[in-house]
Structure 1
Amino acid sequence: MSEVKYPIDRTAYLLVDPYNDFLSEGGKVYPFVEPIAQTVGLLENLRALDRAIRARGIPVVIVPHRRWEPGDYEDWDHPNPNQLKVMHGHHFARGEWGGEWHPDFAPKSGDIIAKEHWGSSGFANTDLDYQLRQKGITHVIVVGLLANTCIEATARYATELGYHVTLVRDATAAFRPEMMHAAHELNGPTYAHAIVTTDELIASLNQQ
């Protein structure tokens, strides 16, 4: 893919699901993503991106999954497999440590926090599209967890809505290597406008 120019006043950085359960030692889901997270340098890359994005004045948008609460999904007609996992595992529980932001990626003053998504897409049934359009955003950079679920669903939906979409292959993780491969080598190229590394993205931003 050709080098992308990111218009600073029309680009947003979408950080998906930066919860302790996903990103912190002791998190309920972290043990499942830890091998790949360590291999790609996930936390270090997210920290580097956070610094670079904020230095350029690009809006940071937190795109959070629904925090589990007692009763969630139990009387639904057809909760999906991931929702069933959340129901049984109490992932991202509201009011508990696992459902709090990882301290390095907690929202700062001026950040946008979208409404929580019930499924995998950060756009479906939330105010994310509305908030981005109110800011005049046309380009989105999508990072966070998981590469083959919430990242892919959010990024695909963004493409359908007409946004320019960038994936950052080492600023995400998944449960298995083949899931990462599918997200970036098989599926990503069918919808994303750019698939880059953290270093490549930061270099692009620094040139603009």
Structure 2
Amino acid sequence: MITKIDEKTALVLIDLQKGIAKDTVHPVADVIRNAVKLIDAFRKRSLPVVLVTVNPSGARFLKCRIEGGKSISPTGEMALPEDFADLVPEIEPLASDIQIRKRTWNAFFETDLHEQLQKHGVTGIVLGGISTSIGVEGTARAASEFGYNQTFVVDAMSDKILEAHDCTVNYIFPRLGELGTTAEVIQHLEL
């Protein structure tokens, strides 16, 4: 339940891009439709909109051992489609939007996201995107370390694995902030 949205709140949307926004357990069209509603509501109120995309090629974590003793990519490079990191067509960035390109799960790691938010006086973030248990959760954990008040928009996020999504929504997010729907966030913005 959402009790309050900070006066200086930013919308942060994670990895709503062509290479990620597919094959989710919730209809991706619904997630994107809700994200667009949130973008419109934040822009209408002149609040910051942050559009985060990922291109993991070259990231150090790709060289780390994973289950089975091998790394994801011994060189750290990945062969990705050329449009992998392009935003989905429904999301059209404006010059006023903050665009962040990350290489890992966490949108704060080795990016200027925190500095950009501080420049706007942001104290709270509304978070959504794909995948709930990876990019969204990774970013939320870091945001809590920076002390941001967080609101998680559960109908503007999804995952490729239902159990992973449910675990994050039911057990991790309630420890980091408040949960609500797109309609609830928009209602609080109008107060």
TM-score (norm: length of structure 2): 0.85
Provide the rounded CA distance (Å) in 1 between the counterparts of 2:99 and 2:188. Answer: 26
Shift of 1:90: 3.6
TM-score (norm: length of structure 1): 0.79
The farther-off stretch of 100-109 and 160-169 is 100-109
Aligned to 1:205: 189
Matched, 1:37 2:27: yes
The 3-state SS of whatever aligns with 2:165 is helix
Shift of 1:176: 2.0
Matched, 1:110 2:96: yes
Q: 1:54 to 1:187 in 2, by over 3 A?
A: same
For 2:35, give the aligned amino acid.
Answer: L
Cα deviation, 1:107-152, whole Å, max 9, x if unaligned, reads 21211112x2222100011111111111111111111111011101
For 2:88, give the aligned amino acid.
Answer: H
Q: Identity of counterpart residues, as a percentage?
A: 25
Provide the rounded CA distance (Å) in 1 between the counterparts of 2:162 and 2:190. Answer: 31
Where has structure 1 moved over 2 Å in runs of 4 or more? 72-77, 87-91
Aligned pair partner of 2:180 in 193, 196, 202: 196
For 1:65, give the aligned amino acid.
Answer: V
**What does residue range 71-110 of structure 1 map to in structure 2 within 5 Å?**
72=58, 77-78=63-64, 84=72, 90-91=79-80, 93=81, 96-110=82-96
Cα deviation, 1:20-44, whole Å, max 9, x if unaligned, reads 1223xxxxxx12x1x4135x92122
Aligned to 1:12: 10
Q: 1:75 to 1:98 in 2, by over 3 A?
A: closer
Provide the rounded CA distance (Å) in 1 between the counterparts of 2:158 and 2:120. Answer: 29
For 1:205, give the aligned amino acid.
Answer: L
Aligned to 2:137: 152
Aligned pair partner of 2:159 in 174, 177, 180: 174
Matched-pair contact (CA < 8 Å) for 1:59–1:111: yes
* Aligned residue-pair number: 186
Matched, 1:66 2:52: no
**What does residue range 22-33 of structure 1 map to in structure 2 within 5 Å?**
22-23=20-21, 30-31=22-23, 33=24
For 1:166, give the aligned amino acid.
Answer: T
Structure number having the greater helix percentage: 1
Provide the rounded CA distance (Å) in 1 between the counterparts of 2:16 and 2:53. Answer: 7
Shift of 1:5: 3.3
Aligned to 2:112: 127
The 3-state SS of whatever aligns with 1:99 is coil
Aligned to 1:3: 3
For 1:153, give the aligned amino acid.
Answer: G
